[in-house]
Structure 1
Amino acid sequence: MKKLVVLTGAGISAESGLKTFRDSDGLWEGYNVYDVATPEAWERNPALVQTFYNERRKQVMVAQPNNAHQILADLEQHYDVEIITQNIDDLHERAGSRKVTHLHGIITRSQSDKKASLTYPIEGDEIRMGELCELGSQLRPHVVWFGESVPMIEVAAKICQRADVFLLVGTSLAVYPAAGLLGYVPHTTIKYVVDPNIPDVGRYKNVTTIAEKAGFGMQKLKEILISNA
């Protein structure tokens, strides 16, 4: 079975109704991202950051996987599919995808404020101030904030190196280090890009682009991928 490696970004979740800060000039649901998505913001006003992510978590739990998520899950019948996602939602998992690497964490888990590798499932949809990890520090969202390292990037790079087919869906390749992952994909690997605004991939070989939103673009690509499996 060929290995299909997929890198997904905000565009795939947008069709499920989840917004990102790039929708409106750096504002995310009315907040400046640097007020709610940085370590400095957490130090300055942890209650505000906690409330912000509690609201985002509620939105994620209400949202449903869309056609693009479902097609990627269905492709496991034809490929060894590994998904690397920049998104913090769990829509890939809920669609049925079994191998998902979250570069920027996942909002349905909490983590220790003292030791990021200590993560926990969240009961319900909120983390409350005063909820502590086993080390006695405040629990925070299991999300990589701006200015923090991306611990899963090396794992993702190794996955990309093994790709027989590579697919980019719903990402502008504007956020590093995720944007550099395409450079780890072998030159000979067939690559597909699905996004209404195709990012600059001119320096890469064997690239086919589909300038459509994730759902429609994946519907067009599905038959091609199945026929080439």
Structure 2
Amino acid sequence: MDNLQKAVDLIVNSKKVFALTGAGISTDSGIPDFRSNTGYYTKMDPTLALSKDRLLNHPEIFYKEGYVILEDLNDQKPNKGHIALAKLEELGKLQGIITQNIDNLHAKAGSKNIYEVHGETRGIHCMSCGHEFKFDVMKKKVEAGEIPPKCDDCGGTLRPNVVMFGDMMPDDFERGARELDNTDTLIVVGSSLSVSPVNFLPNYVDHLIIINNDPTPFDNRADVVFHENSSKVLTEILEEVEKRI
């Protein structure tokens, strides 16, 4: 039996299937993987540009570098891989997605049950009063030269709803991890499985399907491994699952 049929068998026969996605699923949408040294990452180190220290202590640098990345993500569109996962959820064959990505593309593709363990770029919040606002509020303030942008309600500092390097993990991480307690199969898409604590999550499940261009530390433990383009593989999996319904 080939890898495609093995993967489809696992998905169709499992009681509960989840996906774990990383930067690799979004490269077909024009978003560079920050380990690839392409795009804006040729000019900056994302671990500094998107760090909590830079945001809080050097806002003038953050809004020249890290903020540019966040702003760019809002303009991207989901690709066939995101759409295939959304369709699998719609068919009842995927119960949800845990994503390391902050690009909002799973939501744009139509996925409903999403755990964003590194935050998102749809919104911002005030660090003093906690009030939430849309990302456009920050965009207008930054374009007007208000650095750092301030809350109109209390005067506190606004920040993106993104988990910066140096931040604590959000509630979505714990909630997503609990979902895996009774998950049979995890489909890992576009993740190197090298970033802690997300790289512990595959240990929670009995069966693993890995779709990633490069080898991961979990390849030897996985039931099926694809070192191929994720949009192509997920589209093929969706087509085969639809034939079985």
Query: TM-score range, shorter-chain basis?
Result: 0.7 to 0.9
CA distance in 2, matches of 1:147, 1:169: 25
**Cα gap change, 1:80 to 1:209, in 2 (>3 Å):** closer
* Contact preservation (8 Å) 1:58, 1:125: no
- The aligned residue for residue 100 of structure 2 is 86
Is structure 2 residue 186 aligned with structure 1 residue 166?
yes
Is structure 2 residue 161 aligned with structure 1 residue 142?
yes
- The aligned residue for residue 44 of structure 1 is 57
Where in structure 2 are the equivalents of 1:126-137 lying within 5 Å? Answer: 126=139, 128=142, 129=147, 130-132=149-151, 134=153, 136-137=155-156
Please point out which of 156, 162, 165 is paired with 2:176: 156
CA RMSD of aligned residues (A): 2.6
**Cα gap change, 1:58 to 1:34, in 2 (>3 Å):** closer
Q: CA offsets per residue over residues 86-135 of structure 1, 9 Å max, x none?
A: 000111111110111100000121133347x6543223671533322755
* SS at structure 2 position matched to 1:21: coil
145-154 vs 99-108, greater mean Cα deviation: 145-154
127-136 vs 106-115, greater mean Cα deviation: 127-136
* SS at structure 2 position matched to 1:167: strand
CA distance in 2, matches of 1:155, 1:36: 28
One-letter amino acid of the structure 2 residue matched with residue 50 of structure 1 = Y
- The aligned residue for residue 15 of structure 1 is 28
**Cα gap change, 1:106 to 1:4, in 2 (>3 Å):** same
**Cα gap change, 1:125 to 1:137, in 2 (>3 Å):** closer
CA distance in 2, matches of 1:184, 1:160: 6
Deviation at 1:159, TM superposition (A): 1.2
Is structure 2 residue 225 aligned with structure 1 residue 209?
yes
- The aligned residue for residue 237 of structure 2 is 221
Is the radius of gyration larger for structure 1 or structure 2?
2
* Contact preservation (8 Å) 2:85, 2:94: no
Q: How many residues align?
A: 223
Deviation at 1:213, TM superposition (A): 1.4
**Cα gap change, 1:34 to 1:164, in 2 (>3 Å):** closer
One-letter amino acid of the structure 2 residue matched with residue 61 of structure 1 = N
**Cα gap change, 1:29 to 1:138, in 2 (>3 Å):** farther
- The aligned residue for residue 178 of structure 1 is 198
TM score, norm. by length of structure 1: 0.85
TM score, norm. by length of structure 2: 0.80
One-letter amino acid of the structure 2 residue matched with residue 221 of structure 1 = I
Q: CA offsets per residue over residues 151-193 of structure 1, 9 Å max, x none?
A: 23211111112223310000000111111111112x2xx3211
Please point out which of 97, 101, 108 is paired with 2:115: 101
* SS at structure 2 position matched to 1:142: strand
One-letter amino acid of the structure 2 residue matched with residue 49 of structure 1 = F
146-155 vs 167-176, greater mean Cα deviation: 146-155
Deviation at 1:203, TM superposition (A): 5.8
Deviation at 1:39, TM superposition (A): 1.8
CA distance in 1, matches of 2:33, 2:122: 17
Which has the larger helix fraction?
2
Deviation at 1:11, TM superposition (A): 0.2
Which has the larger strand fraction?
1
